[in-house]
Structure 1
Amino acid sequence: MSAKSSIALIGPGAIGTTVAAALHEVGRTPVICGRTAHAQLTLRTDDGQVVVPGPVLTNPSEVKQPFSLVFVAVKTTQMAATAPWLSALCDENTVVCALQNGVEQKTQFAEYLPGVAVLPSVVWFPAQREPDYSVWLRAKPRLTLPETPHTAVVLAALEGTRCEVDVAADFTTIAWRKLLQNAVAGLMVLSGRRAGMFTRPDITALAYAYLRECLQVARAEGAQLSDEVPAEIVARFQNAPADLGTSILADRVAGQTLEWDIRNGVIQRYGRVHGIPTPISDVIVPLLAAGSDGPG
C-alpha cells in the first residue's frame, strides 16, 4: 500500500472494478479493499481491457493511514461486514462516495461513520462480473452526484477519466428515477429471465402497473417525475440487449442475499408512511424476501 495514495475503494465487484479501472487509466490507482485476494482486476470493454494492478487488501489492519476519498461499492447487505474497513480508511476529513443502489445511502452509513461526509450517487452503467472474475462493461460509465460542498472531491478524482460525472441540483428526483428502474428489475428475479422478457405484452403491462405504483410513492417523497417515466423505463429494458441482466438477478442465480429491501421493500415501506396503497409491492416484496432469506 502506497503512503502517497489518497483514494481507496471498498468492494472490487462490477461497479468497483469499473471505477478502479477509470482511476487507474489516468494514474490515480486507488488502494483496493475487499473480501477476496486478487492479484489484479480486469475490466473488459468493446475497445479492449484495462488491468488494474493489485493486490486487493483483505485485512483492515493493513491500512496505516486514513484516505481523503473512499469509494464504497459493496452491496447494502454487506454494510456490517464493511464496518472494519470504514473505521480503518476514514476519519473526520474523509469524503465517502457511496456507489450503491437505493435512496437511503446516507442513512445506511450513519451508523458506521458518524461525523464523516457521505456523498450518495446514482450509478448509470451496466457492468457484470464474468466467470473468470473479470468485469464486462457494456456501456459508457456515468455517475450522478448531488450538489454539495463535498462533491468537488469526487469531481477532481474522476476528472479526465472514462467515467462521466453529472451534478444534479435536484438529486432526489434523479435518485428516485433510478430506484424505479431498479425496482422493476426485481421482476427479472421472480421470472429468472433477463431484459428480453420485457418485450412480452403481459410483462409490459405488469411493469407499467408496478411503476405507476412506485411513481406515486416517489412523488410523495419529493421526486418531480412525470407520467411518462414508466414508459421510458420499460422502453429502456425493451431496447436493451435481450441477455442483459442486473445485479440482483446475478445474486439470485448465485444463491446470495438479495438487496430486496432497498430496491423494492422501500416502495412498500414509504407507501405505508404516506398512506399510499401498494398492492403490487405487497405481492412482489414477500416473494423477493423469501427468495433471499428463506426459510425453505
Structure 2
Amino acid sequence: MRIVIAGAGSIGCFCGGLLAAGGHEVTLLGRAPLLDGIERRGLTVTDFSGLMLTVASERLILTIDPGCLSGADLVIVSVKTSATADMASAIATHAPVSAPVLSWQNGLENARLLRTRLPGRDIRAGMVPFNVVPMDEATWHRASSGDIVIAAGPGGLGAALSVPGLPVSESLRIEAVQWGKLVINLNNALNALSGLTLVEQLSDRGWRRLMADQMAEALGVLRAAGIPVAATTPLPAWVSPHILRLPDALFARIAARMLTVDPSARSSMAYDLDAGRATEIASLQGEIIRLGGAHGVATPICSRVAALIDSATASGTTAPRLSVAQIAPPD
C-alpha cells in the first residue's frame, strides 16, 4: 500500500520505518528539521528486544507538503492532539475519499474529531500501546511492549499492516480498548513529574500506590459513566490497581510476565516537558476530569496532577522531580 504517515514524530517514524521495511511505500509527512536528519542518515528503528533496522532514505518519501496525501491508499494520523484539526483539513483537501484514515494517537477525542471533520470517510481509531523515544536525529527506539489494535472494518487492514516487528489486530470494541489504554496512560504525567525512569518508578511502592490510586479514581469515573474498559494487559483493568499495590518482590514477579520496559524509558510526556513542548494532559487526565464532573464523581488526583503539569509547562521547566508526597492531594 501507499501509506502516508501524517505527522512524522516518534510513533510515526518508528512505525513508518517498519512498514517500509515490510514492503509498503511509505511517505513521511512532517517537519523539515526531522526529515532532514532522515534524509542524511536513513531511518533507524531499535527496541528493547534487540531490534536494529535501518531503512535507507531512498526507500522513503520525505516531504513537508500535504499534497502528498493525494496519492495515499491509507493515511495514518500520528500528530499530537493539538494538530489534529489542521491535519484533518489537509486530509479533506488532498486525500482520496476512498483512503481509510487511522488515528494512532493518544486519547479518544482525535478519532472523534477526524470523523466530524471528514464525514463519509472510513475513519478508524487505533491504540498504540508502546512507548517510542528519539535516540538521535534519525533513530527511534521502542522502549516498551504491546501490539497495535485498530477498529474492525472492511479491507483486512490489520492483516495488511502487520509486518515483522509490528503486528496489528482489529477489534470490535476499540473504544473500550482506548479507554483501557487511557487509564494506563494516566501514568505518563506522574512519570513526567517524578523525573524517574519508568523502571525506577515501578520499583518504588510509594509511586505504585499513587499510580494505583489515580487508576482507581479513573475506573470509578468510567464505572459511573457506564463506559466499558478493555484491559490492554493480560489482566482485567480493575485488577491493575491491586497489582500495583503489592509488595515489591511480589509485584516484580507478576509484572515481569505482563510488561517489558526498557531500563532507560520515560514517558512521552516527560520528553515533552524537557523539550518545552505542549503536553497531552487535556486528552488524558482532562478526559477523566471532564467525565467526572459530568457524572458528579470527584477526581482529586487527576485534577492535582493536571494542575502540576500545566504549571510546569507554563514555567518552561524540565521534569520537576517531585516526590509522591508533593503530588498526592491532601486528604
**1:258 lines up with 2:258 in the alignment:** no
Q: Relative to 1, partners in 2 of residues 1:96 and 1:22: Cα closer, same or farther, differing over 3 Å?
A: same
TM-score for both structures, normalised by structure 2 = 0.78
Q: How do 1:1-296 and structure 2 match up within 5 A?
A: 6-36=2-32, 37-38=35-36, 39=39, 40-45=42-47, 46-53=50-57, 54-61=60-67, 63=68, 65-83=70-88, 85-139=90-144, 142-149=147-154, 152-195=155-198, 196-219=200-223, 220-224=225-229, 226-232=237-243, 236=255, 240-293=261-314
Q: CA deviation at 1:18?
A: 2.0
What is the Cα deviation at residue 215 of structure 1? 0.8
Give 1:141 shift: 5.9
RMSD: 2.7
CA change 1:51–1:158 in 2 (3 A) is: same
Runs of 4+ aligned residues of structure 1 deviating over 6 Å after TM superposition are none
Give yes or no for contact 1:141–1:164 (8 Å, CA) kept in 2. Answer: no
Shift in Å at residue 289 of structure 1? 2.2
CA contact (8 A) 1:70 1:89 kept: no
Distance 1:49 1:93 in 2: 32
Shift of the 201–47 alpha-carbon distance from structure 1 to 2, 3 Å rule, reads closer
Kindly provide the CA deviation profile for residues 181-238 of structure 1, in whole angstroms up to 9, marking residues without a partner as x.
1112210122222211232232122111111001112332522465303245786599
1:171 deviation in Å? 2.2
- How many pairs align? 289
Contact 1:99 1:123 in 2 (8 A): yes
Q: CA deviation at 1:154?
A: 2.4
- Deviation of 1:288 after TM superposition, in Å, equals 1.6
- CA contact 1:23–1:157 (8 Å) conserved in 2: no
Shift of 1:57: 0.4
Deviation, structure 1 residue 252: 0.7
Q: SS in structure 2 opposite 1:271? A: helix
d(CA) in 2 for partners of 1:92 and 1:123? 25
Query: Residues of 2 paired with 1:159 and 1:280: CA distance?
Result: 38
* Letter of the structure 2 residue corresponding to residue 181 of structure 1: I
Aligned to 1:130, the other structure's residue is in SS state strand
- Alpha-carbon distance in 2 for matches of 1:241, 1:160: 22
Structure 1 gaps of 5+ residues are none
Change (3 A) 1:26 1:207: closer
Extract unaligned runs of 5+ from structure 2.
230-235, 246-250, 318-331
- Report the alpha carbon displacement of residue 139 of structure 1 after superposing the two structures with TM: 4.9
Worse-superposed segment, 120-129 or 33-42: 33-42
Q: 1:43 is matched by which residue type in structure 2?
A: V
